[in-house]
């Protein structure tokens, strides 16, 4: 089920962008998590990310993580924002073992939901992972505005 009027709000966010072939996406995620672990931070949230499709089966992925405290003197390539906030977002939750296919279906559902409401996306789709060891679920969110004719 999709809903409107959702938002993303995080403090002390570190991010990093990658442009990689789709088959090496896991290496980008591993690199980001290793760089974060090397900082030995106090983590405030699970990582979240946005992915945009590029030609020739490449993707642009931007990974984010919220920390309990601000950090300075980050290694090259890591970016710090004291606050990350987007409102006016549509969202839908997905869960299960086939995250890649379910995420693709979730993207389609969000796009259909926006079209049905005469809304257009204003941001990439963000993926938030929630839960614990026993139950994990994913929420897809995208910013929107009214469609102009």
Domain-by-domain residue ranges, the chain? Answer: 2-146
Spell out the residues 6+ positions from residue 127 whose beta carbon is closer than 8 angstroms to its own: 48, 49, 50, 51, 103, 138, 139, 140
Q: Which residue has the higher pLDDT, 120 or 105?
A: 120
How far is residue 50's CA from residue 125's CA, in Å, rounded to a whole number?
6
Instruction: Please check the confidence at residue 36 and state whether its pLDDT lies above 70.
Output: yes
Write out the two tokens for 64: 């984010």
Instruction: Please check the confidence at residue 131 and state whether its pLDDT lies above 80.
Output: no
Decide: 3 and 92 in contact? Cβ < 8 Å: yes
CATH architecture group of domain 2-146: Alpha-Beta Barrel (3.20)
Question: Of the candidates 3, 2, 7, 1, which has an alpha carbon nearest to the alpha carbon of residue 87?
Answer: 7
In the chain, the N- to C-terminal Cα span, in Å, equals 27
The average pLDDT across 109-124 equals 94
- pTM equals 0.90
> Which pLDDT score is estimated for 85?
96
CA dihedral over 117, 121, 125, 126, signed as positive or negative: negative
> Which pLDDT score is estimated for 149?
66
How far is residue 119's CA from residue 111's CA, in Å, rounded to a whole number?
9
CA angle 130, 72, 85 (to 5 degrees): 40
Instruction: Please check the confidence at residue 33 and state whether its pLDDT lies above 80.
Output: yes
């Amino acid at each position: 089920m999709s809903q409107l009027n959702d938002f993303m709000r995080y403090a002390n966010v570190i991010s990093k962008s990658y442009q990689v072939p789709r088959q090496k996406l896991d290496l980008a995620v591993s690199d980001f998590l290793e760089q974060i672990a090397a900082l030995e931070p106090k983590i405030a949230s699970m990582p979240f990310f946005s992915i945009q499709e590029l030609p020739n089966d490449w993707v642009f992925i931007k990974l984010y993580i919220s920390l309990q405290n601000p950090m300075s003197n980050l290694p090259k390539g890591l970016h710090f924002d004291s606050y990350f906030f987007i409102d006016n977002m549509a969202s839908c939750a997905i869960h299960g073992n086939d995250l890649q296919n379910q995420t693709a279906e979730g993207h389609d559902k969000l796009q259909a939901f926006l079209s049905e409401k005469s809304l257009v996306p204003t941001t990439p789709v963000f993926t938030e992972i929630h839960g614990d060891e026993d139950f994990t679920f994913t929420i897809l969110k995208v910013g929107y505005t009214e469609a102009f004719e």
